[in-house]
Amino acid sequence: MPKNCKHEKWCKDNFTNEIPIGRVEELYDFLQGKLPKNIEIKRPPHLSEAMAFKIIWFLQEQTQVLPDHFEKCQTCGSIYDTRQEGNITHCDICRKD
Ligand SMILES: [Zn+2]
């Protein structure tokens, strides 16, 4: 959201936090070179899982255009919604607590 947004909380509640996990997974996949079926580009990015998530993290924490409740599981590498499952480091499948 823009830094000068006068409706910062409204934007976060009604826009940023409503971005579905599927869109974040699509970005995560794209950054690793897995393109959606409707896209063809020459030389797509080929980042590692870790590098791809660093970009998502930047968009969450610095620019705040993505919600910060999505995390990458440290064991299986999948993206999960901490509001729905898992803890701060692991998805429900991989968590051991
Ligand atoms: Zn996992």
pLDDT tens digits, 41-61: 999 999 999 999 999 999 999
* 30 CB-near residues (< 8 Å, 6+ apart): 36, 39, 44, 45
Which helix (H) or strand (E) is 79 found in, with range? strand 79-81
For residue 2, pLDDT beyond 60: no
Give the pTM. 0.86
What is the Å distance from ligand 1's center to 94 Cα?
Answer: 4
What is the Å distance from ligand 1's center to 21 Cα?
Answer: 15
What is the Å distance from ligand 1's center to 85 Cα?
Answer: 10
For residue 7, pLDDT beyond 90: no
What is the Å distance from ligand 1's center to 89 Cα?
Answer: 9
